[in-house]
Amino acid sequence: MAVVFDQTAKDIRARRHPEKAHRPDSPISRKPDWIRVRAPVSREYAETRGIVRQHNLHTVCEEAGCPNIGECWAQRHATMLIMGDTCTRACAFCNVKTGLPAALDADEPQNVGQAVAKLGLKHVVITSVDRDDLADGGASHFAATIGAIRSTSPGTTVEVLTPDFLRKQGAIEVVMQARPDVLNHNLETVPRLYLTVRPGARYYASLRLLERAKELAPEGFTKSGLMVGLGENRGEIMQVMDDLRTAGVDFLTVGQYLQPSRKHAAVARFWEPSEFKALEQIARAKGFLMVSASPLTRSSYHADTDFAQLRHARIQSVT
């Protein structure tokens, strides 16, 4: 359900997250040394930001406060956030604005296509806010954006990180008809934590979306991601891995949850690098073609090189 976005509120956090404004504060734990990153200062970072601004685009890198923005933008890897910067949901972990979104920008797909061409991307990730207010959840807008990229940059591979399209019948079919190279949808956390962490979503509906994408394009790749540090346990993560493999998912990412503000879900604990390495080994043993697991792993982190490895892994698996 959409929440009216109060632009008159004095506290910027209240304006950005009106649904969280009256929650009690949660203490923000000090980050361990292995999570610290440098502030973005490179010339390439500034050039990437300039191209994004020129085409009036949003990026999840900025809206979600990704810790890897300096590294990725220095390499011209920006993850485009389509359908606006305001989400109709209020997930407890997410830093994207919540409220009543504006109408879709009909020029956005072409603007994204032009930006991808200027950045010279070999692989691009397109994601979006949740748009529960739209009849198809924004599926046709995703399809139009994929089409625009195919037109301006025919050699670029396209990865889409979609919402769950909950109760939007036929939406995933529309997206898959546009032939993305990778269909990504993040489960985010374990089923037990959905009501508190991802209350607008349903675990098995998300699983079914991934399964349906694979049914529609068996030759394509499907991908999903998890955060750790929200209170899950190792056994629950193992079960999610099994569920994803049953749904035919090829690629799993696992990263550390970082608390955006005192109004967001608290970090239960920071997993150590050795624990991420163990999760990666277990996931590979369960049959995932590709696994990326580290404290700073995010869905689109190193997506271009990971996609190349993913394709190579499939070739190796059938030879």
DSSP state of 98: E
Supply the pTM of this predicted model: 0.87
Q: Please state, in angstroms and rounded to a whole number, the distance separating the CA atoms of residues 119 and 130.
A: 26
Q: What percent of the chain has pLDDT over 90?
A: 61
Tens of pLDDT, residues 269-309: 999 999 999 999 999 999 999 999 999 988 877 777 888 89
Q: Which residues pair with 123 in a beta bridge?
A: 157
Between the alpha carbon of residue 281 and those of residues 107, 266, 270, 284, the distances in Å are 44, 28, 19, 5
Q: Please state, in angstroms and rounded to a whole number, the distance separating the CA atoms of residues 65 and 69.
A: 8
| Angle at the Cα of 111 from the Cα atoms of 88 and 95, rounded to 5 degrees | 30
Among 69-78, 164-173, 185-194, 240-249, which stretch is predicted with the lowest mean pLDDT? 69-78
SS3 content of the chain, % helix, strand, coil (to 5): 40, 15, 45
Q: Please state, in angstroms and rounded to a whole number, the distance separating the CA atoms of residues 263 and 13.
A: 8
* Beta strands 221-228; 182-184: pairing state: parallel
Could you give the strand order of the β-sheet that contains 251-256, starting from the edge strand earlier in sequence?
A: 58-59, 80-82, 123-128, 157-161, 182-184, 221-228, 251-256, 290-293
Residue 281's CB: how many other CB atoms inside 10 A?
12
As a whole number, mean pLDDT of residues 32-58 equals 74
Residue 19's CB: how many other CB atoms inside 10 A?
18
Predicted confidence at residue 189, as pLDDT, reads 98
As a whole number, mean pLDDT of residues 83-107 equals 92
Tens of pLDDT, residues 119-143: 888 999 999 999 999 999 999 999 9
Output the six-digit token pair for 244: 């994803």
CB 297 within 8 Å of CB 71: no
